[in-house]
Amino acid sequence: MKKPVALITGGSSGIGKATAVALQKMNYKVYTMSRREVQWDNEDIIHMVGDICSEIEVVKVFKEIMENESTLDIMVLAAGYGISGGIEFTEMADAQRQMQVNFFGTFLCMKYGGRIMRKQGHGRIFYLSSVAGEIAIPFQGFYTSSKAASSKLMEAYGGELAPYGVECCVIMPGDVKTPFTEVREKSPKGDIEYQNRISKSVLKMENDERKGMSAEYVGEFIAKKAIQKSIRPYYGVDKGYAALLMLYRFLPRKLARYIVNKMYG
């Protein structure tokens, strides 16, 4: 019997890599995609080099998967990166790059993967967002915006694809211990003008991430949702973060923002 097929973007490290391993253990044939070469010591996980910001490379990856497998059952969009710093001091080029990768790169994969699933009449797309996509974090404004925009795009796409048997789901982890923390592009510009609040806020965020849940925990969470009979459009990862998101939505926004600003502002 042929195995179901999954594609994980950003599958070379962190949550993407952990999700690939978790899905393979659930008997999926998994393709991972990232800009760098990766060697998997498992015949059921195949890596493909491709930049999600290049439409030519994205199309090539999907074409090759379909030539090999003739189906795409699960797609997990986990590729992305983050910048931090004061909005006032962010360079246009940095802001554009953040949106190019996290929003437009996600869009390209969503577009071509979703097209395959619509035509075949089934499939599930998971977008790895963040609690920051719902709760705006001071001095992480462009990262927050990129996650919020991509989450809403996924939600809209879910409505478009629903009549064709395709489900779209947004996964929102909180603090996760991954290499993402170390490669965040931090800008100290404006820290003096903001009374060192930029550096203090980012330091707190990174300390929380280093103490956070494991990438393996999140990967297994996504894999379990992949095989569930039915799924919801949004999930917070673990009960604590799900409760935090619920609280944020129902508290008066002024109070909710006061709490967040005290923590990170």
pLDDT in the model for residue 67: 97
The residues with which 166 forms a beta bridge, in sequence order, are 123
pLDDT (tens digit, 9 = 90+) per residue, 142-179?
999 999 999 999 999 999 999 999 999 999 998 898 87
pLDDT (tens digit, 9 = 90+) per residue, 73-127?
999 999 999 999 999 999 999 999 999 999 999 999 999 999 999 999 999 999 9
Half-sphere exposure of residue 52, counting CA atoms within 13 Å on the CB side? 31
CATH of the domain at 211: 3.40.50.720
Q: Tell me the mean pLDDT in the region 38-64.
A: 95
Average model confidence (pLDDT) across the chain: 93
Q: Tell me the mean pLDDT in the region 11-35.
A: 96
The tally of domains found in the chain comes to 1
Residue 265 pLDDT greater than 80, yes or no: no
Residue 182, amino acid: E
Question: When comparing pLDDT for 41 and 161, which is higher?
Answer: 161
Residue 148 CA to residue 69 CA, distance in Å, equals: 33
Cβ proximity of 82 and 97 under 8 Å: no
Range of the domain at 150: 5-264
